[in-house]
Amino acid sequence: MVQKFHNAAMLVVGDEILSGRTRDANLYYLGSYLAKHGIELKEGRIIPDEHETIVHHVRELSAKYDAVFTSGGIGPTHDDITADAIAAAFGRSISHDPRAVAILENFYPEQMRNEARMRMARIPEGARLIDNPVSAAPGFVVENVYVMAGVPKIFEGMLEGLVSEFAGGQAMLSKTLRIEVGEGRIAAILGALQNKYPDVKLGCYPYGHDGHYAARIVARHRDEKRIVEALSELRQKVEEEGFDCDYEA
């Protein structure tokens, strides 16, 4: 089933992320992955393992974007409540899905099966399953919401299996110009350039280099010609001000 997506949002679920015990890697991975397929990740939210909070944000994001990806909260423990919240968000029942049960029974020897592990077979009514090539327990899709694991390697494996579903537009391209001066010295130039090229996304990212301030200017657009035009003009104006700059490979 090929879906035509132009934009998406991500909902990261987990108290462990908000408390700082675990660092999220999935938002970064999803953003870069979708960009390669011409789909723009427009928003990312990190929320706690709270039923009503998940329900609220799922409904809001699902209505706003073409697709929503969630990570976290579909494991075997008592605080893994994302599946129940997704079911509630769309007014669906939830139960042990025979397809998911069969997957887990095939993966775990009988002596390793227990109530907690089989809890991962609870799937909302009418959902499509997402293959998990790492640890078997499937994710699922309800309407335009893709519910996936929080463990990065599992999340990535699930996402790779969905590639055939994504029919986005032309991939978002980017090019970086490194300028050997602090962002404050070029702010006016950047502002004027952004006004001239409103369709090109210009990001300014300051950093330290050889004991002085510098900045990376990243231009993003689906048309490489527009990127080159904008950055060429920026380079010319920056060099006219006497600042060194060069493109990054």
Report the sign of the C-alpha dihedral through residues 104, 109, 110, 114, in that order: negative
Using one digit for the tens of pLDDT, what is the confidence trace for 45-60?
999 999 999 999 999 9
| CATH of the domain spanning 7-165, picked from 2.60.40.420, 3.40.50.1820, 3.40.50.720, 3.40.980.10 | 3.40.980.10
pTM: 0.79
Q: Which residues contact 209 (CB under 8 A, 6 or more apart)?
A: 180
Query: Is 2 a residue whose pLDDT tops 70?
Result: no
Domains 7-165 and 173-247 share a fold: no
Task: Of 5, 67, 71, give the one whose Cα is nearest residue 39.
Answer: 5
**Sequential DSSP letters for 112-136:** G--HHHHGGGEEETTPEEE--TTT-
Beta-bridge mates of residue 176: 218
Closest by CA position to 8, among listed 54, 64, 60, 57: 64
pLDDT at 169 > cutoff 70 = no
- Find out whether 94 and 87 touch, Cβ atoms under 8 Å: yes
Average pLDDT over residues 23-30: 96
DSSP string, 4-42: --SEEEEEEE-HHHHTTSS---HHHHHHHHHHHTT-EEE
Q: Examine the pLDDT at 172 and tell me if it is beyond 90.
A: no
Tell me, what's the pLDDT at 167?
Answer: 62
Query: Rounded mean pLDDT of 34-39?
Result: 86
Q: Can you tell me the mean pLDDT for 15-35?
A: 94
Q: According to the model, what pLDDT value does residue 173 have? A: 81
pLDDT tens, 198-222? Answer: 999 899 988 886 778 889 999 988 7
Residue boundaries of the structural domains of the chain: 7-165, 173-247
pLDDT tens-digit profile of 149-160? Answer: 999 999 999 998
Domain boundaries 173-247, corresponding CATH code: 3.30.70.600
- Inform me whether the pLDDT recorded for 90 exceeds 80: yes
Q: Is 47 helix (H, G, I), strand (E, B) or coil?
A: strand
Give the pLDDT score at 165.
76
Taking the CB of residue 21, how many other CB atoms lie within 10 A of it?
9
- Reply yes or no on whether the pLDDT at 170 is more than 70: no
Quick check: 234 and 227 in contact, CB under 8 A?
Answer: no
Name the nearest CA neighbour of 127 among 144, 138, 137, 141.
141
Distances (CA, A) of 141 to 51, 124, 131, 194: 18, 9, 11, 38
| pLDDT, position 124 | 98
pLDDT higher than threshold 60 for residue 168: no
